[in-house]
A and B are shown apart, each in its own frame.
Chain A
């Protein structure tokens, strides 16, 4: 009985290692293909972000070929560098590495890994919208962070929103998996 439990645990650990390798390979492929992607290739991420930012801030953006989405009244561009590809990858890896080992059944592990790209996309859309909406607010009211240049402030805002977003998505995923376990 004990030997069987150990064998099952070993099998699950082996599967975890395989799934981690799959997650890493997918992340690497994402990084390779999207780190040099154009605004057109990232439109699937930039367009919904821009739409949400427009709804939240009321600031109109116009699409400009090659550049991305340019604010009509403010010096802001939602460009490929702002697409949040790094956050998308980090979020995908956090949700995979953080939760695959916790799930018991093999099918559940596979289903979770298949769902993580979509969850990571949703998290990216929300985090990116929040970051750009705050940037629009700062720009509109002329708020400057002392001792930081414009680009440094932009980067600092990115770190705060993205790391905060990763923590938040980890906590939400924890609640989701715990609730699912309690429901059984």
Chain B
């Protein structure tokens, strides 16, 4: 299998964000976006569900982003030493 590696490949930070945000965005689209398009907004329990899903997902993104940033800081600190 050949993977594209252009000379101006994405920087590590962009790759890191993409790794976190692409699955997150797709998850929200499937669990919240599609039901919204199908008219779920008329049901009050949908909003309760959506609020819970978005809140927990945002917390997870924050935790994952923080751990990725710490890992990167640790790695660059190790290289500097």
A residues adjacent to B (C-beta < 8 A): 27, 31, 86, 89-90, 93-94, 97-98, 101-105, 108, 111-112, 152, 155-156, 159-160, 162-164, 166-167, 169-171, 174, 177-178, 180-181, 184
Contact = CB atoms under 8 A, between A and B. Distances in A.
A102 to B, nearest CB: 5
A40 to B, nearest CB: 24
A180 B3 contact: yes
Contacts of B34: 31
A163 B3 contact: no
A155 B53 contact: yes
B52 A97 contact: no
Contacts of A89: 30
A170 B4 CA distance: 17
Contacts of B53: 155, 159
Contact of A86 (B4, B24, B31, B56): B31
Given A156-B56, A163-B60, 20 more contacts: A31-B30, A86-B31, A90-B26, A90-B27, A93-B30, A97-B26, A98-B23, A101-B4, A102-B3, A103-B4, A155-B53, A159-B60, A160-B56, A160-B60, A166-B26, A170-B22, A170-B23, A177-B1, A180-B3, A181-B1
Contact of A152 (B20, B52, B57): B52
A164 B3 contact: no
Contacts of A181: 1-3, 5
Interface of B: 1-5, 18-20, 22-24, 26-27, 29-31, 34, 49, 52-53, 56-57, 60, 64
A171 B73 CA distance: 20
A159 B57 contact: yes
27 contacts: A27-B30, A31-B34, A90-B26, A90-B27, A102-B3, A103-B2, A103-B4, A104-B2, A105-B2, A152-B52, A155-B49, A156-B56, A159-B53, A159-B56, A159-B60, A160-B60, A163-B24, A163-B60, A166-B23, A166-B27, A167-B64, A169-B23, A170-B19, A174-B19, A178-B3, A181-B1, A184-B2
Query: Secondary structure at chain A's binding surface: helix, strand, loop or mixed?
Result: helix
B52 A155 contact: yes
Chain A to chain B: the 4 pairs with minimum beta-carbon distance, closest first: A180-B1, A166-B23, A181-B3, A104-B2
A167 to B, nearest CB: 6
Nearest to A164: B60
Contacts of B2: 103-105, 108, 180-181, 184
